[in-house]
């Protein structure tokens, strides 16, 4: 079925209320295994509200949304196609993205596979609302490059602070602050961890919505030019936190290890 033939909202779609206890159970699983990305999808679904859906519907109705739908671009396939970016310069977003994904052992397809542990293809509704939320998922690792947040626990939490102000999913807000609490509890650091989350939120409010960007165009841009074009500011507090954690000898530690593992 082409995107043009899909309904905006499938008749079986349910916009559930907030389920904080469910979110907390899945967060504890995420703390136990930070690579268990499936838990993130459980948390965001448990706390996704109407505001996120209204933003999805507004974007779908926008000129950019209509254009992206008409193009029917497979974003994960495009991002993972290294040959597509071969002519991009060494300081392009594409070059930084490819280096990041190689270093972290990640692929865009791998994130899709993790999400499908939570929502297998046979359970997906195939409406345009789902198309939008997949776009949020598919641009996540590209957001790491554009914001300069790393994949360590504080980088992920700070990026989620940024992301919350972009997509208004309470699950994202919950993970950001729960992770910050866990980092403080585990490390007893003097670094201003919560201030890094707050900075991420400020930067997220000020920037263009990264999930709405023209991915191909941005990938081919110089990274500084792309950040300026999208209005993405510098994460000064986050970098100061990393400096302090390094000075304390805690940067290489598991910042979100369960308390029993630290004993």
The confidence score (pLDDT) of residue 17 equals 59
The confidence score (pLDDT) of residue 138 equals 96
The confidence score (pLDDT) of residue 47 equals 64
The confidence score (pLDDT) of residue 257 equals 58
- Ranges under pLDDT 50 in the chain: 259-263
Chain-centre distance for alpha carbon 25: 20
The confidence score (pLDDT) of residue 9 equals 84
pLDDT in tens, 6-26: 898 878 777 665 566 666 677
Encoding tokens for residue 184? 């403080």
Q: Compute and round to an integer the Cα radius of gyration of the chain.
A: 18
The confidence score (pLDDT) of residue 261 equals 36
pLDDT in tens, 54-109: 999 999 999 999 999 999 999 999 999 999 999 999 999 999 999 999 999 999 99
Three-state SS sequence of 152-201: CHHHHHHHHHHHHHHHCCHHHHHHHHHHHHHHHHHHCCCCCHHHHHHHHH
Listed by start position, the domains of the chain span 8-262
């Amino acid at each position: 079925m082409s995107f043009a033939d899909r309904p905006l909202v499938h008749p079986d779609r349910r916009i559930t209320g907030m389920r904080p206890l469910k979110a907390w159970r899945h967060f504890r699983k995420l703390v136990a295994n930070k690579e268990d990305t499936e838990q993130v999808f459980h948390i965001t679904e448990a706390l996704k509200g109407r505001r996120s859906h209204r933003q999805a519907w507004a974007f779908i109705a926008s000129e950019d949304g209509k254009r992206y739908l008409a193009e029917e671009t497979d974003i994960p396939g495009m991002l993972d196609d290294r040959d597509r970016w071969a002519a991009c310069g060494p300081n392009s977003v594409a070059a930084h993205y490819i280096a990041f994904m190689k270093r972290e052992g990640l692929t865009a397809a791998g994130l899709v596979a993790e999400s499908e542990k939570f929502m297998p293809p046979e359970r997906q509704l195939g409406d345009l609302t789902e198309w939008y939320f997949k776009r949020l998922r598919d641009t996540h690792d590209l957001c790491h490059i554009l914001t300069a947040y790393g994949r360590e626990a504080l980088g992920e939490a700070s990026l989620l602070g940024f992301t919350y102000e972009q997509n208004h999913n309470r699950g994202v807000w919950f993970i950001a602050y729960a992770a910050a609490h866990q980092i403080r509890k585990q490390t007893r650091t003097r670094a201003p961890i919560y201030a890094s989350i707050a900075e991420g939120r400020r930067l997220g409010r000020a920037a263009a919505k990264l999930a709405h960007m023209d991915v191909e165009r941005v990938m081919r841009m110089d990274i500084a030019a792309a950040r300026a074009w999208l209005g993405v500011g510098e994460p000064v507090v986050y970098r100061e936190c990393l400096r302090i954690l390094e000075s304390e000898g805690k940067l290489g530690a598991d910042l979100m290890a369960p308390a029993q593992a630290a004993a």
